[in-house]
Structure 1
Amino acid sequence: MKSFRKLLYTVLAIIAFVFLSIYGYLLYSKPDYEGEVAMHNISGETSVYFDTYGVPHIYAANQKDAMEALGYVHAQDRLWQMELLRRIAPGRLSEIFGTRALKNDKFFIGLGIDENSEKAISELDKNGEPYKMAMAYLDGINQYLEEGKTPVEFSLLGIKKEKFTLKDVFNTYGYMAFSFAMAQKTDPLMTDIRNQFGDEYLKDLGIDYSHNPTRLKISRGEEQQYLEISKSITALLENSPVPPFIGSNSWVISPKKTKTGKVLFCNDPHIEYSQPGTWYEAHISCPDYEMYGYYLSGTPFPLLAHNRKYAYGLTMFENDDADLFQEENNPNNPNQYKTAAGFATYTSRTKTIRVKDSTAVVLTVKETGHGPIINDLIADFKTKQPVAFSWIYTQQPNKILNAVYGLSHAKSIPEFQKSVSYIVAPGLNIMYGDAQNNVAWFTSGKLYKLQKGVNANLILNGSNGVDDQKEFLPYSKNPATINPAWNYVYSSNNMPENIDGYNYPGYYLPEDRARRISNLLDAKNDWDKESVSKMMTDNTSPVVTEIVKVLMANTESGKLNAQEKEALSVLKSWNGSHDITGVAPTIYNKWIYFYLKNTFQDEMGEVSFRQFLKTHIMKQSIAFQTQNESSVWWDNITTKSKKETRKDILTQSLKEAVASLNTQLGSDVSSWTWNRVHKLEFKHPLGSVALLKPFFNVGIFDIAGTNEVINNTMFEYSDEKEYVVKAGPSTRRIVDFSDIENSWSILPSGQSGNPMSEHYSDQAEMYVAGKFRKMMLNKEEIVKTGTKLVFIPKK
Structure 2
Amino acid sequence: MKVFKKLSWIVLGIVAIMALSSAIYVYTHTPEYVGNIETDKLSKKVEVYFDTYGIPHIYAEKEEDALRSLGYVHAQDRLWQMELLRRISIGGLSEVFGEDMIKTDKFFLSLGIDDASQKTVENVSKDNPMVVLSQAYLDGINQFIAEGPTPIEFHLTGLEKTPFTLKDIYNTVGYMAFSFAMAHKTDPLLTNIKNQLGPAYLADLEIGVNPKSTLIKNYKPSIRDSIKNDIAGLVSEVLKDFPVPQFEGSNSWVIAPNKTKNGKVILANDPHIGFAQPSVWYEAHVNAPNYEKYGYHLAGVPFPLLGHDRKLAYGLTMFENDDIDFYYEEEKPNDSSFYKTSAGWKKYELVTKTIKVKGEDDLSFTFKKTHHGPILNGIADQVMDQRPIAMSWIYTKLENKVMDALYGMSHAQNLSEFKEALPDIHAPGLNIIYGDAVGNVGWFATAKLYQLPDSTDTKFILEGSTGMDEPIRYLDFSENPMAINPSWNFVYSANNPPDSINGKFYPGYYLPENRAKRIVALLEPKNDWDREAVQQMLLDATSGVNAKVVTNLAKSMEVKEMTEAQISVLDKMNVWDGNNQLHQIEPTVYHRWIYFLLKNTFEDELGPQMFQQMLDTHFHKRLIAPMAAKDDSVWWDDVNTPDSVETKNVVVNLSFRQAFQSLEEDLGGEPNKWTWNKVHTLEHGHPIGQIKALRSFFNVGPFPISGTREVINNMYFKYDDTGLYPATSGPSTRRVIDFSDIENSTSILPTGQSGNPFSEHYEDQAEMYNQGKFRKMMMNKEEIIKTQKSMLVFEPKK
Name the residue aligned to 2:411. 409
How far the C-alpha of 1:102 sits from its partner, in A, is 1.0
Matches within 5 A, 1:272-287: 272-287=274-289
SS in 2 for 1:146: helix
CA-to-aligned-CA distance 1:438-482 (integer Å, 9 cap, x gap): 000011111012112211111111112112243221111000110
Cα distance between partner residues in 2 of 1:756 and 1:110: 37
SS in 2 for 1:58: strand
Cα distance between partner residues in 2 of 1:168 and 1:312: 25
Name the residue aligned to 1:794. 797
Matches within 5 A, 1:168-247: 168-210=168-210, 213-219=213-219, 222=226, 225-227=228-230, 229-247=231-249
CA contact (8 A) 2:375 2:388 kept: yes
CA-to-aligned-CA distance 1:29-54 (integer Å, 9 cap, x gap): 00011111111111111000000000
CA-to-aligned-CA distance 1:307-359 (integer Å, 9 cap, x gap): 00000000010000001111111112110011122211001221211111101
Distance 1:417 1:299, change over 3 A: same
Name the residue aligned to 2:88. 88
Name the residue aligned to 2:457. 455
How far the C-alpha of 1:172 sits from its partner, in A, is 0.1
SS in 1 for 2:239: helix
495-504 or 758-767, which deviates more: 495-504
SS in 2 for 1:455: coil
How far the C-alpha of 1:516 sits from its partner, in A, is 0.3
CA-to-aligned-CA distance 1:487-543 (integer Å, 9 cap, x gap): 000000000011211111000000000000001000100000000100000000110
CA contact (8 A) 1:212 1:510 kept: no
CA contact (8 A) 2:41 2:796 kept: yes
CA contact (8 A) 1:62 1:288 kept: no
Name the residue aligned to 1:105. 105
Name the residue aligned to 1:296. 298
Distance 1:348 1:478, change over 3 A: same
174-183 or 713-722, which deviates more: 713-722
Cα distance between partner residues in 2 of 1:700 and 1:724: 9
Cα distance between partner residues in 1 of 2:696 and 2:216: 44
Matches within 5 A, 1:199-598: 199-210=199-210, 213-219=213-219, 222=226, 225-227=228-230, 229-598=231-600
How far the C-alpha of 1:7 sits from its partner, in A, is 4.8
CA contact (8 A) 1:57 1:284 kept: yes
Name the residue aligned to 2:781. 779
The one-letter code of the counterpart of 1:681 is E
How far the C-alpha of 1:722 sits from its partner, in A, is 2.1
The one-letter code of the counterpart of 1:222 is S
Name the residue aligned to 1:119. 119
CA-to-aligned-CA distance 1:174-220 (integer Å, 9 cap, x gap): 00000124211111111110011111111111113237611000119
How far the C-alpha of 1:149 sits from its partner, in A, is 1.1
How far the C-alpha of 1:123 sits from its partner, in A, is 2.0
How far the C-alpha of 1:720 sits from its partner, in A, is 1.6
CA contact (8 A) 1:211 1:624 kept: no
How far the C-alpha of 1:8 sits from its partner, in A, is 6.2
Name the residue aligned to 1:735. 737
The one-letter code of the counterpart of 2:709 is N
The one-letter code of the counterpart of 1:719 is D
Cα distance between partner residues in 2 of 1:291 and 1:212: 40
Distance 1:530 1:726, change over 3 A: same
The one-letter code of the counterpart of 1:84 is L
Cα distance between partner residues in 2 of 1:718 and 1:5: 58
SS in 2 for 1:337: strand
SS in 1 for 2:660: helix
Distance 1:65 1:333, change over 3 A: same
The one-letter code of the counterpart of 1:567 is V
SS in 2 for 1:205: coil
Cα distance between partner residues in 2 of 1:298 and 1:218: 35
SS in 1 for 2:516: helix
Distance 1:527 1:133, change over 3 A: same
CA contact (8 A) 2:408 2:421 kept: yes
CA contact (8 A) 2:312 2:413 kept: no
SS in 2 for 1:695: helix
How far the C-alpha of 1:365 sits from its partner, in A, is 2.4
CA-to-aligned-CA distance 1:237-281 (integer Å, 9 cap, x gap): 342211110000000000000000000000000000000000000
Distance 1:675 1:734, change over 3 A: same
Distance 1:26 1:232, change over 3 A: farther
CA-to-aligned-CA distance 1:285-313 (integer Å, 9 cap, x gap): 11210000000000110000000000000
Cα distance between partner residues in 1 of 2:337 and 2:717: 44
How far the C-alpha of 1:640 sits from its partner, in A, is 1.4
Cα distance between partner residues in 2 of 1:23 and 1:658: 52
Cα distance between partner residues in 2 of 1:772 and 1:177: 29
CA-to-aligned-CA distance 1:224-246 (integer Å, 9 cap, x gap): x223x112213323422111100
CA contact (8 A) 1:597 1:609 kept: yes
Cα distance between partner residues in 2 of 1:23 and 1:418: 52
Name the residue aligned to 1:686. 688
The one-letter code of the counterpart of 2:761 is H
Distance 1:503 1:211, change over 3 A: closer
Cα distance between partner residues in 1 of 2:504 and 2:15: 70
Cα distance between partner residues in 2 of 1:582 and 1:221: 50
TM-score w.r.t. length of structure 1: 0.98
SS in 1 for 2:99: helix
How far the C-alpha of 1:161 sits from its partner, in A, is 1.1
Distance 1:211 1:201, change over 3 A: farther
Cα distance between partner residues in 1 of 2:108 and 2:319: 23
CA contact (8 A) 2:680 2:724 kept: yes
Cα distance between partner residues in 2 of 1:427 and 1:337: 31
How far the C-alpha of 1:411 sits from its partner, in A, is 2.2
Name the residue aligned to 1:153. 153
SS in 2 for 1:490: strand
CA contact (8 A) 1:212 1:494 kept: no
SS in 2 for 1:691: helix
Match of 2:726 among 713, 724, 727: 724
TM-score w.r.t. length of structure 2: 0.98
Cα distance between partner residues in 1 of 2:385 and 2:595: 31
Distance 1:99 1:4, change over 3 A: farther
SS in 2 for 1:753: coil
CA contact (8 A) 1:181 1:321 kept: no
How far the C-alpha of 1:403 sits from its partner, in A, is 0.7
Cα distance between partner residues in 1 of 2:472 and 2:9: 77
Cα distance between partner residues in 2 of 1:10 and 1:641: 80
Cα distance between partner residues in 2 of 1:440 and 1:209: 23
Cα distance between partner residues in 1 of 2:51 and 2:266: 24
Cα distance between partner residues in 1 of 2:13 and 2:670: 53
CA contact (8 A) 2:378 2:384 kept: no
The one-letter code of the counterpart of 1:277 is S
SS in 2 for 1:724: coil
376-385 or 708-717, which deviates more: 376-385
How far the C-alpha of 1:4 sits from its partner, in A, is 6.3
Name the residue aligned to 2:651. 649
Cα distance between partner residues in 2 of 1:563 and 1:765: 36
Cα distance between partner residues in 2 of 1:506 and 1:541: 23
CA contact (8 A) 2:337 2:347 kept: yes
Name the residue aligned to 1:632. 634
Name the residue aligned to 2:134. 134
CA contact (8 A) 2:46 2:794 kept: yes
346-355 or 544-553, which deviates more: 346-355
